[in-house]
Structures are given as C-alpha cells and as structure tokens.
Chain A
Amino acid sequence: MGVGESVVRDDQGLERVRRLAQAKAAEGASLIQVLHAVQNSYGYLPIEVQRIVAEAMHAPLGTVSGVVTFYSFFSTEPSGRHGIRCCLGTACYVCGGVRLVDLLEELLHCKVGHTTADGMFRFEVARCIGACSLAPAIAIDDKVYAKVTTEALPGIISSYYEAEGSAR
C-alpha cells in the first residue's frame, strides 16, 4: 500500500487533518471523537495521520495506534468510494447471509476486509446492522438493502457503477 506516496501527494490533506485534530483537541474531545472526525475527513487513518493526531492530543503514538486497531470502525487502509457491509448477524446468518458474502466476493473480485481494485467499494462483513426483520440485509454506505437475494445482488452493485457513469 502506497502510504509514503499518498503523503507526498496529499500534503494539503494532512494539513487539514492537523488543523482538525488540534481544533477537536482544544474542544476537549476524547481520542475516539477526534479519530472519528479525522477519519470522516481523510477517509482512513494511516500511520502519518495517527502521528499527527498523537501530537495534537499530546499522547504517545502507541496509545493512538492502540485505539485505532482496537475498534473495527477505524481503518488504516484507504476505503472505497462506497462501503459495503454484508450483515452476518444471527438473523442474517440463519437466513443465508453467507451466500451473499460468497457472491459479493465473486462479483467484486475482492475478499472481505479489502477494497476493490478500482477503488469503488470497500467490502466488509458486519456483526449486526439491526435490520434483523429484513434478513438477509446488506448496507451500502448508510443505505440498507432488505431481504437481498442472490438474484438481486448483481443489480444492486451495478446500480452504483451506473450512477458513476462507468459500466463495468
């Protein structure tokens, strides 16, 4: 992963992170709140970004890194333009969520926990998104798709490509 490159290319982004982290720290925000804000702005939390947060919070880098790696919402890899979370909560599991995961891996040419080569989707499995009555469910960004079938899934994925005007 080209962390080094992205730093060289994205000084402005890092400067924005620095200002944001300092502002949040001045408000008295907790480390997790600062990381949420920074990840929303920068997209992910590579080590350079963690170092800036550590400086702003006057905390050791190890503390910041420890928190980033503890929580599943924080990512040290760049995310796709959209995030797919395929729910494998109990209800979705019982109702066939695994079949959706298998098919998504096939459709996206991408394993769980990774981002597609074209940077379109980050593909993750969710523990439970709370849409248990609509099992099996997947969430793309904040939109929940209910009672998803293996027949419907390809259409859902391609609708995102169509929206960007780039057919697969």
Chain B
Amino acid sequence: MAARYAGRIETIPDLDRVKREFLDSVKDFRFTIIVCGGTGCISSHCGDVLTALRKHCTLRGLEEEVRIVESGCLGLCALGPTVLVEPGDTFYVNMTSEKIVQVVDRHIIGGKIQEEYTFFDEPRKKHIPRLTDIPFYHDQVKIVLRNCGSIDCASIEEYISRDGYFGFAKAVKELGRVGTYEELIKSGLRGRGGAGFPTGIKWQSGHDQPGDRKYIVCNGDEGDPGAFMDRSVLEGDPHSIIEGLLIGGYAIGANQGFVYVRAEYPIAVERLQAAIGVAYDRGLLGRNILGTGFDFDLEIRIGAGAFVCGEETALLNSIEGKRGEPRQKPPFPFQSGLYGCPTIINNVETLANVPVIITRGGDWYASYGVGRSRGTKVFALAGDIRYSGIIEVPMGITMGDIVFRIGGGIKDGRQFKAIQSGGPSGGCLTRDHLDVSVDYESLAAMGAIMGSGGLIVMDETTCMVDTARYFMDFVQDESCGHCVPCRIGTKRMLEILQRIVAGKGEEADLDMLETLGNTIKDTAMCGLGQTAPNPVLTTLRYFRDEYEAHVVHKTCPAHVCKGMLVYVIDHEKCRRCGLCARSCPTKAITGGGKEPFAINTEVCSRCGTCIAHCTFGAISIR
C-alpha cells in the first residue's frame, strides 16, 4: 500500500509535492496487481480474491515488491472478477481465491504468465494475455475512464499523481473564469446526459447570469435501465467528479455544489462520500482552496427512486426535498434553479471530462470525434452480447464496430436483431444501421438518441413488439402524472400494446399508436414524456412486419408473446408415455391409452413445462 501523506494541500507546490512523493513511493514495487472493485466484480465476489491476494503476498513476503490496488471498473464486467498485473498488462479473468494464489506463485514469483487464466477469445479460440491486445479494449479511447480501473479509487494521492486537481489549479491560476468556459467551448464537449447541449455555452450562461448565490449540480440519477456508465465513474474515479464540479463552480461563480446520486447505487454513494471527506480533510474542498481565495462546498443528495428525477428540473425539486415533478421552462435552471438561484446541472460523464480538457486543452479533446460530436462517449454494453461491460469509444465509430469488434458479437451463435440506444427515451435500430456513425446527429436522424449511453443488444429471440411494450410499461409507470399527454397518453399506448401482445390487436391499432406517439412527443411537458414514445415509434418504423404479424396473423415470430403461442404435439414423434400430461401444472394435456395426447389451448398457460419434460422432442411451439 502507498503511504498516506498527512497534512493539508494548501498551495500548488503542495500539489506538486504530493504527486512527486506518491510516484517516489511506488517506483520500487516490481509489480502492481489491480483487482477490479466495480459493482459487477463485487457481485462476482472480488472481495474474496482481494483478501486471498493480500494474505498470500504477505505469506510469501512480497509486501515490498507487489503493490495491491482495489480499483474501479475495468470494463469487462461479464468476466469478473478481473485482475490486471502490471507491468505487462496481463489480464486475468473469472478469478477465484484459489486461482489468484497460483497467479502469485507462478507469475509474480515464477515469472511465467498463467495463460489458462487469462482472457479467452472465443471466436478465435485462443487466450490473449495482454489487455491491450484484446479486441474489447483495442479500439477504446479512455478519456473519461482514464483512471477507472487503473488507480486506487480511494487514494487522493494517486489521483493527484495522474495530474488530478491540476486542472482546477490551471483554471484558477492561468485561465480565469472566462478562459475556463472558453476552453470548454473550444473542446466541443456536449452534455453526456442525453440532450447534448454544449457544456461551455451552458457554463457561459451560468457565468453571465447575475446573482450572489449560484449552484452547480452533478446529475448522477442514472435511471435508464441498462445504463451503468455514471456509476462506474462515481465508483472508480470519484475525485474526477469533485474536480469537475470545482472547475465548473469556479467558472460560473458558484460556491456550493450538489451531487445527486440515485439510491440504487450504495457503493457509489459510499465511495463518493469518502472521497469528499478526504478532499475536505486535505483542503481541496472548503475555504480558500489551494490558496486561490475560492471557496467551495459539496454535498451528496441521495434520490429515493423515481426515474423522472433524471430530468433536470425534477431533480432540482428532489434536491429541495419535494416531489420530483418537472418545472415549466422557461425560466431555465441557469436563470432560476435550485432555491430560485442560477443553477448549472451537468451529468457525471460530462464532469469527468472537464479536468482533463482543462489540463490538456480544448484542441486536444476536439481532435477526437466527428462533426459536431467531439471527444469520446462511454457506453454500457449489455443484453445478448458476448462481452458486456463498460466501453469508451471516440464519437463517429460505427454501431457495427461496437457490437462485433468490441462486444464480440452475439452470444450462443444466434443472430443480431436490434440494438437499443438511449433506454426508454431512445430507439431500436436494425442491422441496416450497423454502419452508421455513432454521433448525436446521425442517431437523431434515425429516430434514436445518443442518450446517456445504455446500449442493449438483442438477438433473434427478442420480440420487438414485446420490447416496445416493456419500455412503454416502464415510462407509464414512471410518469410523474404532472401533464396530461404523458399521464394519459402513455397509459393508452400501453393498453394498445398489451392488447397486441395478447393476440387481440387490430390493424387500426398501429395507426393509433403512431398518432398517439406523435401527439405525446409534441405536447408533453418534459423530456421524459417527449421521448417516451420513441421505442414504439422506432420499432413501428423498422419492424413493422413484426407488428403486422401480431395484429394480422396473430403470431409472434420470435415466440415470445405467450398469448399467441400454440403448443402442439407431433403424433409421429409422441410415444404416449404421458410424462407431459403428468407434468402439466394446469392439466391442459389430455389423452392416454388409445386416445392420442392433445393440448387444450384454452387451458394451457404456455409455461413450457411439457417441452422440458418430453424426452422425444414431440412438443413444439407454433
């Protein structure tokens, strides 16, 4: 473990000293072993691996030679717990306490990489020991995730050793308030929460707004199902968010910041709270930070479970302790936000970009990306994909590269069907869109959105109508009820979709869905309602044949919608053993003796138990 440096960091030379001392303290270690401590790996019991590793290193007397680090998310959550050994970038996956002991004995002491425990590339049928050679990592550009999975998330010294808090120092000492937001305008950074508003311009508006009391707020209410990028950053690099807020607070003239984190992320809250405590202890939050005369206080506010609170004005109400209902805009938050004061709200990923843009310059950042979408985007890749996890890619990469090169394609030899971007506010795209560039404008043109960065990959066994119903069920349930189009419109859309998946839809329903969807889009009050119909409208546009199969032919091509499945017994294959009839929980199967077995579709609950029990493969779904 790195030594802890007592004492406050009160000047920029202090910052330099901490950086130097940290680098000195680690240079004599022969190895650094990084154990991923992201929520994914914690669920896969990385704690046991870490304990075994520490114990074994002590047993072998390696304390002076091996530095053990619990880091934030390394990205490949599906293969956790993961461990990275440096130097050499050797990437061990699916670690256990037994395996890590062998890694220490054979790799660290014996000098030979334990290849059978390293990453296995299934399509190529070979192990790839080096992290940087693995296709999942090869095409990634890590700016937001620069420290995630490579530093000890609890160490402010290690964050400083990576030029952390130097961005804030540069902003105050060299750039000034105007220079700071101008640097961001130059970088082309746009809000990563989904809407894509230019961050520098937003800060400029905050700066120009008169007022003695202003606020800066970090939106960490990552509510889209299937998205976990912000959580990874909060857990893996909490100081980057604190520094981003410091710089933003300085630029707009706010002395108080809030981080709003959803209650579902206990580990993120715990680590951020600890990081804020350390920053106060060391003098990087509070009065007269780094001797600049700038004061800044930061507090966490924990959500209480409401999707709509990701909408910025609803979030402000929630911070004030009220029901999380959105406010009418204008006035915009930069004019009248928290407690009626000018307030700037930025997303977690946006803020994580800020310190490095300030230290390395807006031009450097703008060198990544395409068109009006500069820099990188973090995505959470999940669903029916081989390598799910957290990735960061330059804007302008194609969807196909994300799914097939980075994500390793579809699991279990199935076919790619659709990719859903942007959660309940986004849209479903098809294989025809795989070579479209991933940037704000291109995605919007296809009816989807960049959104916060959740990407759910779906294979041929997914029913798009059922998926649309799933998202509509979600937004309908989460609608705050404040405005009529969202409260009642989503309910009616859901009812129609429920009818369709139950096999009771009509052709006219499809037009009604479209009309309702467009009306809600045009008339709902906040972002939640205005984007709520997107999953339905995009699936109607790109998978209309599937809707038609449901309403015209009353079949579900993917065999998902239970209401339309018909279980049938093939009498050629049936040996009349009666297992199916005995296993049927609803007694829907009759027959026996001379009577052939048959399934009564009125009684059948479509549970699939009979298929599982039939040893002759005589029962199938039609």
Q: How far is the CA of A35 from the CA of B319 in the complex (A)?
A: 13
Between A and B, 19 residue pairs with Cβ closer than 8 Å are A30-B301, A32-B301, A32-B318, A63-B322, A67-B322, A70-B306, A71-B305, A90-B382, A91-B225, A91-B226, A91-B456, A94-B467, A132-B77, A132-B454, A132-B456, A135-B383, A142-B266, A143-B43, A144-B39
Give which listed residue, A31, A35, A135, contacts B382 with CB less than 8 A. Answer: A135
Specify which chain B residues have a CB less than 8 angstroms from the CB of A63 in the assembled complex: 322
**Of A3-11, A12-20, A122-130, A153-161, which binds chain B?**
A122-130
Question: Which of B43, B227, B305, B307 has most A Cβ within 10 Å?
Answer: B43
Specify which chain A residues have a CB less than 8 angstroms from the CB of B263 in the assembled complex: 36, 73
Within 8 A of B (CB), among A1-60: 29-36
Residue in A closest to B456 when the chains form the complex, CB atoms:
A90
Q: How far is the CB of B381 from chain A (nearest CB, A)?
A: 8
**CB contact under 8 A between A91 and B306, given known A132-B226, A144-B43:** no
Give which listed residue, A73, A128, A146, contacts B225 with CB less than 8 A. Answer: A128
Q: How far is the CA of A144 from the CA of B43 in the complex (A)?
A: 5
Q: Is the pair B322, A95 in contact by a Cβ cutoff of 8 Å?
A: no
Q: Is the pair B323, A67 in contact by a Cβ cutoff of 8 Å?
A: yes
Q: How far is the CA of A70 from the CA of B222 in the complex (A)?
A: 18
Specify which chain A residues have a CB less than 8 angstroms from the CB of B305 in the assembled complex: 71-74
Give which listed residue, A90, A91, A130, contacts B264 with CB less than 8 A. Answer: A130
Residue in B closest to A91 when the chains form the complex, CB atoms:
B382
Residue in A closest to B481 when the chains form the complex, CB atoms:
A70
Q: How far is the CA of A31 from the CA of B321 in the complex (A)?
A: 5
Total chain B interface residues with beta-carbon distance under 8 A: 53
Q: How far is the CA of A137 from the CA of B223 in the complex (A)?
A: 17
Using C-beta atoms within 8 Å of the partner chain, give the interface range for chain A.
35 or more
**In the complex, B231 has a CB within 8 A of chain A:** yes
Residue in B closest to A30 when the chains form the complex, CB atoms:
B321
**In the complex, B404 has a CB within 8 A of chain A:** no
Q: How far is the CA of A165 from the CA of B578 in the complex (A)?
A: 41
Q: How far is the CA of A135 from the CA of B322 in the complex (A)?
A: 33
Q: Is the pair A133, B304 in contact by a Cβ cutoff of 8 Å?
A: no
Q: Is the pair A94, B389 in contact by a Cβ cutoff of 8 Å?
A: no
Question: Binary interface profile of A, 139-152, with partner B (CB < 8 Å = 1, else 0)?
Answer: 00011111000000
Specify which chain A residues have a CB less than 8 angstroms from the CB of B231 in the assembled complex: 130
Q: How far is the CB of A118 from chain B (nearest CB, A)?
A: 25
Specify which chain A residues have a CB less than 8 angstroms from the CB of B321 in the assembled complex: 29-34, 67
Specify which chain A residues have a CB less than 8 angstroms from the CB of B382 in the assembled complex: 90-91, 132-133, 135
Q: How far is the CB of A58 from chain B (nearest CB, A)?
A: 13
**In the complex, B166 has a CB within 8 A of chain A:** no
Q: Is the pair B323, A133 in contact by a Cβ cutoff of 8 Å?
A: no
**In the complex, B302 has a CB within 8 A of chain A:** yes
Q: Is the pair A128, B264 in contact by a Cβ cutoff of 8 Å?
A: yes
Question: Which of B231, B263, B321, B384 has most A Cβ within 10 Å?
Answer: B321
Q: How far is the CA of A143 from the CA of B45 in the complex (A)?
A: 10
Q: How far is the CA of A90 from the CA of B77 in the complex (A)?
A: 17
**In the complex, B265 has a CB within 8 A of chain A:** yes
Q: How far is the CB of A32 from chain B (nearest CB, A)?
A: 5
Q: A90-B471, A128-B225, A133-B78 are in contact. List 15 more A-B contacts (CB 8 A).
A: A30-B301, A36-B263, A71-B303, A71-B304, A72-B306, A73-B304, A89-B226, A127-B307, A132-B456, A134-B78, A135-B382, A137-B43, A143-B43, A144-B42, A145-B43
Question: Binary interface profile of B, 216-240, with partner A (CB < 8 Å = 1, else 0)?
Answer: 0000001111111001000000000
Q: How far is the CA of A146 from the CA of B322 in the complex (A)?
A: 35
Residue in A closest to B390 when the chains form the complex, CB atoms:
A133
Q: Is the pair B228, A130 in contact by a Cβ cutoff of 8 Å?
A: yes
Q: How far is the CA of A146 from the CA of B302 in the complex (A)?
A: 25
Q: How far is the CB of B121 from chain A (nearest CB, A)?
A: 18
Q: How far is the CA of A74 from the CA of B382 in the complex (A)?
A: 29
**CB contact under 8 A between A72 and B304, given known A90-B383, A91-B456:** yes
Specify which chain B residues have a CB less than 8 angstroms from the CB of A95 in the assembled complex: 383-384
Q: Is the pair A133, B266 in contact by a Cβ cutoff of 8 Å?
A: no
Q: How far is the CB of A22 from chain B (nearest CB, A)?
A: 16
**In the complex, B40 has a CB within 8 A of chain A:** yes
**In the complex, B380 has a CB within 8 A of chain A:** yes
Q: Is the pair A128, B383 in contact by a Cβ cutoff of 8 Å?
A: no
**In the complex, A131 has a CB within 8 A of chain B:** yes
**In the complex, B363 has a CB within 8 A of chain A:** no
Specify which chain B residues have a CB less than 8 angstroms from the CB of A89 in the assembled complex: 225-226
Q: How far is the CB of B229 from chain A (nearest CB, A)?
A: 10
Residue in B closest to A143 when the chains form the complex, CB atoms:
B43
Question: Which of B80, B226, B303, B306 has most A Cβ within 10 Å?
Answer: B226
Q: Is the pair B44, A74 in contact by a Cβ cutoff of 8 Å?
A: no
Q: How far is the CB of A117 from chain B (nearest CB, A)?
A: 22
Q: How far is the CB of B102 from chain A (nearest CB, A)?
A: 23
Within 8 A of B (CB), among A71-125: 71-74, 88-91, 93-95
Specify which chain A residues have a CB less than 8 angstroms from the CB of B77 in the assembled complex: 131-134
Specify which chain A residues have a CB less than 8 angstroms from the CB of B322 in the assembled complex: 31, 63, 67
Q: How far is the CB of A85 from chain B (nearest CB, A)?
A: 9
Q: How far is the CA of A146 from the CA of B320 in the complex (A)?
A: 35
Q: Is the pair B474, A127 in contact by a Cβ cutoff of 8 Å?
A: yes
Q: How far is the CA of A15 from the CA of B276 in the complex (A)?
A: 33
**In the complex, B420 has a CB within 8 A of chain A:** yes
Residue in B closest to A72 when the chains form the complex, CB atoms:
B305
Q: How far is the CA of A35 from the CA of B321 in the complex (A)?
A: 9
Question: Binary interface profile of B, 368-402, with partner A (CB < 8 Å = 1, else 0)?
Answer: 00000000000011111000110000000000000
Q: How far is the CA of A108 from the CA of B384 in the complex (A)?
A: 29
Within 8 A of A (CB), among B233-271: 263-266
Q: Is the pair A93, B470 in contact by a Cβ cutoff of 8 Å?
A: yes
Q: Is the pair B454, A90 in contact by a Cβ cutoff of 8 Å?
A: yes
Q: Is the pair B223, A127 in contact by a Cβ cutoff of 8 Å?
A: yes
**CB contact under 8 A between A133 and B40, given known A30-B301, A73-B304, A127-B307:** yes
Q: How far is the CA of A137 from the CA of B77 in the complex (A)?
A: 13
**In the complex, B423 has a CB within 8 A of chain A:** yes
**In the complex, B324 has a CB within 8 A of chain A:** yes
Give which listed residue, B78, B265, B420, contacts A130 with CB less than 8 A. Answer: B265
Q: How far is the CA of A145 from the CA of B384 in the complex (A)?
A: 19
**In the complex, B437 has a CB within 8 A of chain A:** no
Q: How far is the CA of A70 from the CA of B301 in the complex (A)?
A: 17
Q: How far is the CA of A134 from the CA of B42 in the complex (A)?
A: 11
Residue in B closest to A74 when the chains form the complex, CB atoms:
B304
Question: Which of A30, A90, A145 has most B Cβ within 10 Å?
Answer: A90
**In the complex, B430 has a CB within 8 A of chain A:** no
Q: How far is the CA of A66 from the CA of B306 in the complex (A)?
A: 13
Q: How far is the CB of A73 from chain B (nearest CB, A)?
A: 4
**In the complex, B458 has a CB within 8 A of chain A:** yes
